[in-house]
Amino acid sequence: MADTETDAGVDPAFRRDVLAGLEARPRAIPARWFYDLRGSELFEEITDLPEYYPTRVERSILDGQSAAIGDAIGAGQAVVEFGSGSSAKTPLLLNAISPAAYVPIDISGEFLRESADALSADFPDLPVHPVEADFTHPVSLPAAIADLPKLGFFPGSTIGNFTPPHAVDFLRAMKETLGEGALLLIGMDRIKGEDVLVRAYDDAAGVTAAFNLNLLERINRELDGDIPLDTFRHKAVWNDMLARIEMHIEAARDVEFSVSGRDFAMAEGETIHTENSHKYGPRDARILLRAGGWTVTHEWTDDADQFALLLAEARPEVTAP
Ligand code: AVI
């Protein structure tokens, strides 16, 4: 369908990804399209669910091991947070390390300014320099922090939502943004029992199901779709070969629908793959970081080793002669 008045406000990249994803085999739509207003609210709800341990455990590590984290990082850093969002975990880090400046980077300008203002209110003496940018590519940092040592901060295990090749590209982009000698504090979710993992992505209250299926509502609303929502169900599976939780939207029966004027048919049991959440064992995590140009120097986990915070340094790779 050509762009018309009825398309006003539609993100062309959303339409392109959805149409291409519904036509592809296997069908797949990138997870970044989950996060419209409702999707972002549902994600916040997920982080409070009893089954969704990552947020709670990462916070407990930042909080409970703040002295060791502060000692390893040292004072005077410019903290650069990638995809800062609501900056919910940032105060825990800032309190641990006496930073010299804070640079939140996020693609959503409005959200960024609101959370930067809230943070400035809590840390009135800390210079805050928000940067509106796509943090998956190298970003120019504000001149005001040029001479400060840099600490990248990427909590939440969002690195797991990238496939390993893209995670490596992204780690390299972070290194280019921060420069040689910089530090990176990154959260990574561990491999664990399948039942715990699946429950974290298929909770009893159905919040993760609503988060996943909200994508169809968004498609119907924004791309003039007529997908019958009650025909689809949420599915979360552990793919052991690829060490990841996969979220899919599954057709409960044969179904036909249209999106942006294009017709689609799905057979009962067919799925649209909507998200990957890769999990990393201790050595996997270190190797992934090294592939991206970062050498791990410290690692903090909880008692049950459910989640890890890793500190790494951007060092030139030294190879044996
Ligand atoms: C944002 N990201 C780290 C979450 C995760 O655990 O992979 C997204 C999520 N999807 C379903 N539940 C949470």
Segment 237-255, tens digit of pLDDT? 999 999 999 999 999 999 9
Q: What is the structure's pLDDT at 8?
A: 62
- Count CB-CB contacts under 10 A for residue 48: 10
| Model pLDDT for residues 126-147, shown as the tens digit of each residue | 999 999 999 999 999 999 999 9
To test ligand 1's pocket by mutation, which of 277, 279, 280 has the most ligand atoms within 8 angstroms of CB? 277
Amino acid at 32: R
Q: What is the structure's pLDDT at 7?
A: 58
**4, pLDDT greater than 90:** no
Q: Which atom of ligand 1 is nearest to the CA of 275?
A: 10
- Name every protein residue with a CB atom under 6 angstroms from any ligand 1 atom: 46, 54, 156-158, 160-161, 201, 208, 275, 277
User: Measuring CA to CA, how many Å separate 81 from each of 64, 107, 112?
Assistant: 21, 12, 11
Q: What is the structure's pLDDT at 1?
A: 38
**2, pLDDT greater than 70:** no
Cβ contacts of 133 within 8 Å, gap of 6 or more: 105, 106, 107, 139
Separation between Cα atoms, residue 313 and residue 282, nearest integer Å? 17
Kind of pairing between the strands at 244-251 and 271-278: antiparallel
DSSP letters for 68-129: HHHHHH-SS-EEEEET-TT-TTHHHHHHHH--SEEEEEES-HHHHHHHHHHHHHHSTTS-B-
Q: Which atom of ligand 1 is nearest to the CA of 161?
A: 7
**203, pLDDT greater than 90:** yes
| pLDDT band at residue 316 using 50, 70 and 90 as cut-offs | confident
Query: What is the pLDDT averaged over residues 165-179?
Result: 98
Q: Which atom of ligand 1 is nearest to the CA of 43?
A: 13
Separation between Cα atoms, residue 274 and residue 263, nearest integer Å? 20
User: Measuring CA to CA, how many Å separate 220 from each of 25, 32, 215, 279?
Assistant: 21, 17, 9, 32
If you ran DSSP here, which 8-state letter would residue 158 be given? G
Q: What is the structure's pLDDT at 111?
A: 80
Query: What is the pLDDT averaged over residues 178-192?
Result: 98
- Which residue lies with its CA nearest to atom 6 of ligand 1? 277
| Model pLDDT for residues 219-232, shown as the tens digit of each residue | 999 999 999 999 99
Q: What is the structure's pLDDT at 103?
A: 97
Sheet holding 294-301, edge to edge: 131-132, 101-106, 78-82, 150-154, 183-189, 307-314, 294-301
CA of 166 to the centre of ligand 1 (A): 17
Q: What is the structure's pLDDT at 292?
A: 97
Mean pLDDT over the full length of the chain: 95
Query: What is the pLDDT averaged over residues 172-176?
Result: 97
- Which residue lies with its CA nearest to atom 7 of ligand 1? 277
**6, pLDDT greater than 70:** no
Query: What is the pLDDT averaged over residues 3-18?
Result: 77
| pLDDT band at residue 320 using 50, 70 and 90 as cut-offs | confident
Over 50-79, what HEC string results?
CCCHHHHHHHHHHHHCHHHHHHHHCCCCEE
**38, pLDDT greater than 60:** yes
Q: What is the structure's pLDDT at 315?
A: 86
Select from 251, 239, 245, 160 the least CA-distant residue to 201: 245
To test ligand 1's pocket by mutation, which of 41, 154, 248, 275 has the most ligand atoms within 8 angstroms of CB? 275
Query: Among residues of the chain, what percentage have pLDDT more than 70?
Result: 98
CA of 100 to the centre of ligand 1 (A): 31
How open is the CA angle 32-175-276, to the nearest 5 degrees?
30
CA of 18 to the centre of ligand 1 (A): 20
Q: Which atom of ligand 1 is nearest to the CA of 157?
A: 3
Per the model's pLDDT, the better-predicted residue between 107 and 101 turns out to be: 101
CA of 277 to the centre of ligand 1 (A): 7
| Model pLDDT for residues 115-124, shown as the tens digit of each residue | 899 999 999 9
